[in-house]
Amino acid sequence: MQTSHPKTDGAPAPAEAVAHLPPPPARMPRPALFLDMDGVLAPLADTPDAVVPDPDRTAALRNAAVRLGGRVAIISGRTIDEIDRIAEASAASASGVHGLERRRADGSLQRAKASPGVRHAVAAFETFARTRPGVIVEDKAVSAGLHYRGAPAEEAAALSLAEDLAEQTGLTLQAGNLVVELKTPGTSKGTALTAFMQEPPFAGAVPVMLGDDLTDEDGFRAATELGGFGVLVGPVRETAARYGLPDVAAVLAWLNAVEERA
């Protein structure tokens, strides 16, 4: 079994200091922005398809990309198709399913080959959800997601099932905010950010990763290792992020203000 858990090595914010994370600067030398979707660009919802396009979000993304020379990417646990639906195709660069899908700025696509265990996980999740109202299964081809935001009392049972399946299949267990996912091994939001930083227009820039979930900690660490930083969105906790923003509205306000410093 491969299990993805957040680490706090590599300059974490200690627990006692997390409550005082300052907001990120709005003017930086050649910033490159990497943004999670749910909980960062869009409010969390009970079901994945309840998140819909928003003209203010779309405008903020498009305007930031123009100001920063295209150095804006969305890195999400959602598929790229879902990213494009919600963001109205406003991000040329995008990575989905925790790095298993990646679209470069030139439009070329890179997708990992699905592990055979994903089909087994999808079937087991569907059996689990059949008798539990509010539990939703998400089939992403290269991963299987089990959402229990609509049935939080099922959390222990969902995690236990996912742990057993990870042992059986060799899939990576990715726990999130009222969701657990079993994914094809080998990538993370951190590997996606690192790959983007090796390509135009991101190469040589300062990476800034905005995220809210435990899955974003890999991105925070990758940004820090490459000379940038992470921004934790939402409730405070121990994190590798250096800065913080309270909610989606604050993220969009910051996105509208951020610019390159000469």
* 247 among known catalytic residues: no
- Contacts of 253 by beta carbon, 8 Å cutoff, 6+ apart: none
Choose, from 9, 36, 46, 56, the residue flagged as catalytic.
36
Q: Alpha-carbon distance 68 to 45, whole Å? A: 30
Q: Find out whether 216 and 230 touch, Cβ atoms under 8 Å.
A: yes
SS3 letters across the chain: CEEECCCCCCCCECHHHHCCCCCCCCEECCEEEEECCECCCECCCCCHHHCCCCHHHHHHHHHHHHHCCCCEEEECCCCHHHHHHHHCCCCCEEEECCCCEEECCCCCEEECCCCCHHHHHHHHHHHHHHCCCCCEEEECCCEEEEECCCCHHHHHHHHHHHHHHHHHHCCEEEECCCEEEEECCCCCHHHHHHHHCCCCCCCCCEEEEEECCHHHHHHHHHHHHCCCEEEEECCCCCECCCEEECCHHHHHHHHHHCEECC
| Active site residues per annotation | 36
